[in-house]
Structure 1
């Protein structure tokens, strides 16, 4: 179908709405705090394995459970049209409060079975934070939308990395890490209610119609952007989830694996902002193709540094951490620019849900590859096909007439 024109605002395009920078900063702060529960269990996985005598299989499910929960939450939200019927501010705050409580309940979990269930619940609720945040920031930005969405993804990246930093600092039992992450998510939800509001470019509210999900994804540009996103997501969360295990298994690895993991994941935060700025000027398809080529190259090369000097491993890891997530927001930006405005929330949530479903498979495959290949050195090679397929999808998108609506005609 042909997308409906974007809603007309009384604010001239040449005059950005007053206060949008402050709202963006407040939103990023809330996202940093809210997303800390995502990797809270992964950051203390060694302690949980020792406490509960967790098997390799159960440890994998503790990591995958959040992804699966996010998929269930995103699927439910997309099928009901919830992101297009409930104001994003209310949806984000309610989901953040629920995620904090689900994460806090880990302190009372008697074993891995109940912990996995709680991680699934956390993921379900996370689906009410991340997609609405992208929709909310888009109501403030038409010009500069790439850097704005990139800033939100950078905040998500930093929030995801923070539990590793808390754990690397030492001095806290695993319960302290879980408690700190839950408190941060509660504060993030409160911040959403106190400091955020929708901007002058609101997307129209939609009624619930099941056929709208197919309609939202039937747009060619949205479909190809989702294809690019799937290639990107095959690599991203598997790398984030298993980098600590990869670094800790390296011969001669000291006690700095948690700190280096934090630095590698956190390197993506400033990279997301820079990539958004470049995408607004060079084009989103050009930017995503270049970054996926770089990150795929790092996935292929990091095994070569396994027995090399630590500085080389750290350099490749930091480059990978920066490039593997920097393009993430641009796939969402394409949806907001080329999709039907009445279905933007549903399309974003469906795109993210499909992507996170794929991450669960990738997270499961990487340790299997490590076992099959005799160790962690070459395990990340299984991630290389993702960015390659993503590059093909974005190159196809760039050739479509719809690409003229992306990044003010830059594609």
Structure 2
């Protein structure tokens, strides 16, 4: 019993350590541009390289049903080790744009054996209250994604290469923790043979499709927002010349607050329903996209930063809930494959939105480009919309049920 209580914290810590590889390049982007004579469009290209690698990796993992055929913890360790090596390779002085893009692509490829496999491991342990467990797990992803920005701030007096060294060491540590302390879960049902049909068969389930398309709409917004948080802060600095934000620290905090959001949404979903809380979070983040031009024009730095924290909170709050809905509407034998497939498609979508912002940033006033991020959430809201009881009614039902039990 004692071990079972430690399992979730270990998975969470491992996920945090390994997903720090994701935005390691973004945190030192200015240094990479200077050191390797890159142009300013490198932000979008390097972020997309990681996404491309992740997409290709999840495609391979899904088609070969790797997470369901082999020990997930061993897959996690292998990918953490290899991902850390290629992340470390960026510090080589002889790098060019092509070699850096290649290294980031391969790092993204091995992240495909970390993020969705981590969720698969959690699902193997926590069949009940999965939404709460995945809330902690995706929260770890968020903080891990934000961590390189904090590392950049912490190592400001040192060379930028230390950020990449630190994240590589963290990833290796996370993989070792997972393989040594997290054995195969009690709800794991491995498949023995390759099942190529699993890639397509999961979408026959209507509830699975609904959750998946809601997730796709959410992903259109999420990574584009995260990737451009430093640019958003810089844009405000330029427009309001008296303002000078600590961009690395604020970028970390704005992204990292989403970790708290994931945990809270996991708890709220147990009271009000997973789908309902996902809908509300998606609606609020969509609203942030639409009102972003207004917020750029506010003279109050506090109001603008408060708005970004609000956006950073709700842009990710629905992510563990969509993953929960996907996992619950998939058979145990192909749960890992289903999560990987949805990740593959979702991250494919992020490349389109990131590149769209990258193009629009140079073509039109950057104050207005973030409204395009509302496209995905609007589609997701349409897919998720259905007649359900208001939250007030559900809350009263819960109180009534609790009162009857106490009597």
**What is the aligned length?**
382
Counterpart-to-counterpart distance in 2, 1:398 and 1:218: 24
Shift of 1:161: 0.3
Corresponding residue for residue 394 of structure 1: 384
Structure 1 residue 277 corresponds to structure 2 residue 262? no
Equivalent residue in structure 1 for 2:100, among 115, 134, 142? 115
Contact 2:275 2:325 in 1 (8 A): no
SS at match of 1:93: helix
Structure 1 residue 188 corresponds to structure 2 residue 179? no
Corresponding residue for residue 342 of structure 1: 333
SS at match of 1:326: coil
Counterpart-to-counterpart distance in 2, 1:391 and 1:87: 36
Corresponding residue for residue 37 of structure 1: 21
Counterpart-to-counterpart distance in 2, 1:112 and 1:360: 18
Corresponding residue for residue 216 of structure 1: 202
Q: Which moved more, 1:91-100 or 1:376-385?
A: 376-385
Counterpart-to-counterpart distance in 1, 2:211 and 2:388: 10
> TM-score normalised to the size of structure 2?
0.90
Q: Which moved more, 1:27-36 or 1:338-347?
A: 338-347
Contact 2:188 2:332 in 1 (8 A): no
Distance 1:18 1:183, change over 3 A: closer
Contact 1:216 1:344 in 2 (8 A): no
Equivalent residue in structure 1 for 2:211, among 201, 221, 225? 225
Shift of 1:263: 0.6
Corresponding residue for residue 325 of structure 1: 316
Contact 1:271 1:322 in 2 (8 A): yes
Corresponding residue for residue 407 of structure 1: none
Shift of 1:209: 2.1
Structure 1 residue 70 corresponds to structure 2 residue 54? yes
Counterpart-to-counterpart distance in 2, 1:332 and 1:198: 20
Shift of 1:369: 2.0
Counterpart-to-counterpart distance in 2, 1:119 and 1:197: 30
Counterpart-to-counterpart distance in 1, 2:271 and 2:115: 25
Counterpart-to-counterpart distance in 2, 1:238 and 1:209: 33
Shift of 1:238: 0.3
Equivalent residue in structure 1 for 2:284, among 294, 297, 301? 294
Corresponding residue for residue 25 of structure 1: 9
Counterpart-to-counterpart distance in 2, 1:277 and 1:371: 42
Contact 2:292 2:371 in 1 (8 A): no
Counterpart-to-counterpart distance in 1, 2:120 and 2:60: 17
SS at match of 1:53: coil
Shift of 1:171: 1.3
Contact 2:80 2:111 in 1 (8 A): yes
Counterpart-to-counterpart distance in 2, 1:388 and 1:237: 16
Counterpart-to-counterpart distance in 1, 2:352 and 2:380: 17
Equivalent residue in structure 1 for 2:159, among 173, 194, 205? 173
> TM-score normalised to the size of structure 1?
0.90
Per-residue CA deviation, residues 234-277 of structure 1 (Å, 9 max, x unaligned), is 00000000110111122334251111111100000011011011
Corresponding residue for residue 263 of structure 1: 253
SS at match of 1:139: helix
Contact 1:234 1:362 in 2 (8 A): yes
Per-residue CA deviation, residues 86-131 of structure 1 (Å, 9 max, x unaligned), is 1111111100001000100111152111000000000000000111
> After the TM superposition, which residues 27-176 of structure 1 pair with which residues of structure 2 at under 5 Å, given as runs?
27-108=11-92, 109-169=94-154, 170-176=156-162
Distance 1:92 1:293, change over 3 A: same
Counterpart-to-counterpart distance in 2, 1:264 and 1:303: 18
Corresponding residue for residue 402 of structure 1: none
